[in-house]
Amino acid sequence: MPIHSLLSTAFCARAELFDEQHRNALRLFNGFYEGEPNLVIDLYATTAVLYNYADLPFEGAAAVRAGIDVLRAEIPWAQTMIVKTRNGTPEEKRGVVVYGNRPDTRIVEHGVRYSVNLTMNQDASLYLDTRNLRKWAIENLAGKTVLNTFAYTGSLGVAAQAGGAARVVHVDREREFLNVAKTSYTLNGFPIEKRNFLAEDFFPAVSRFRREGISFDCVFLDPPFFSVTGRGRVDLEGESERLINKVRPLVRNGGWLVVVNNALFVPGRDLMALFERLSASGYLAIETILPVPQDFTGYPHTCLRPPPVDPAPYNHPTKITVLRVWKEKQANSSQLP
């Protein structure tokens, strides 16, 4: 099927997600599954972000050019377009405005305002695959204390705060990312306390919390796929259990540990087998898995290619699991008492 037809079909499938005020964010086209692996398109309010995976600058990438043409014809409110070239220069990786001028700096999701900086990094500063997790945080964390590790721009913690959390602590190495989280707080009228925005490496921060006996009702563990610093190593393909065990002691009895694993080549059954093995101890229980939104995964009639490995029982390689943590052994760890 020609790329223009693929794009039109994908846009039409998402039509019910378009809001009249054009303030939300969604994935318009997931080329990896919807027929053109050189192109992914996200929409943030009135700014379209096109990810160019071709080994060419955007001027020579046919899929990107087609994406711009179809966007202009079918999504008239996309007043600005940014192309991020994954194999380009540092500036091209962060994004170049190719149409319009001023990218949007905020979106609204589930009634919550989020600050975005669409050219700050290789991604667009707000992960769309965790939208349902932000909804879960809004609905479940009222009155709770929350630790948002690997916080990046803080969206999970912002959602928790919007849901009425008593305290949310964000930890990320990059102060620039945490500043975006602070802007989201300002947009929503949340108070900003310096002690809740920690520009620190994950490993020493977690160790300090343990030494000081600080614990939380909910801990988000959403690390990068792979990272090595002088303080520690993150490897979601080979060392997920080690990271989980780092933060488990910080979760209060009966609290939640929410684990996000976006390792593309980790089958869902392998990750679930890890959680089932850990749950057999009686100190951990699998509460639920949260699906990735369908605009991100693609729809049954738009998907032409499967993921590289089977993510089942998850619906996407971004695998989101909500676990309960217990300080006392439970008789049946697979079910909550």
Name the residue ranges covered by the structural domains of the chain.
Answer: 3-102, 112-116+122-325
Q: For the beta carbon of residue 207, count every other beta carbon within 10 angstroms.
A: 14
Q: For residue 59, how far is the Cα from the chain centroid? A: 29
Question: How far is the CA of 242 from the CAs of 98, 234, 248, 277, 317, in angstroms?
Answer: 43, 9, 10, 14, 20
At position 284, the amino acid (one-letter code) is: L
Which architecture does CATH list for 3-102? 2-Layer Sandwich (3.30)
The architecture CATH gives domain 112-116+122-325: 3-Layer(aba) Sandwich (3.40)
Rounded to whole angstroms, the Cα distance separating 162 from 257 reads 19
Please give the structure tokens belonging to residue 242. Answer: 């080690």
CB 38 within 8 A of CB 61: yes
Per-residue pLDDT of the chain (337 residues; tens, 9 = 90+): 899 999 999 999 999 999 999 999 999 999 999 999 999 999 999 999 999 999 888 888 999 999 999 999 999 999 999 999 999 999 999 999 999 989 999 999 999 999 999 999 999 999 999 999 999 999 999 999 999 999 999 999 999 999 999 999 999 999 999 999 999 999 999 999 999 999 999 999 999 999 999 999 999 999 985 455 656 666 656 678 889 999 999 999 999 999 999 999 999 999 999 999 999 999 999 999 999 999 999 999 999 999 999 999 999 999 999 999 998 888 764 443 3
Query: Angle between the 268-279 and 240-247 helix axes, to the nearest 10 degrees?
Result: 40
Spatial neighbors of 262 by CB under 8 A, at least 6 apart, are: 129, 225, 236, 317, 318, 319
pTM, two decimal places: 0.94
Closest of 96, 88, 114, 99 to residue 25, by C-alpha:
114
| C-alpha to C-alpha distance for 275 and 327, rounded to whole angstroms | 17
Residue 121, sorted as left (phi over 0), alpha (psi -120 to 50) or beta, turns out to be: beta
DSSP β-bridge partners for residue 112 = 109
Residue 191: exposed, middle, or buried by beta-carbon count in 10 A (0-12, 13-18, 19+)? Answer: exposed
The angle formed by the CA atoms of residues 245, 201 and 114, to the nearest 5 degrees, is 95
Structure tokens at 224: 């990068």
Q: Residue 142 corresponds to which tokens in the numbers above? A: 């009222």
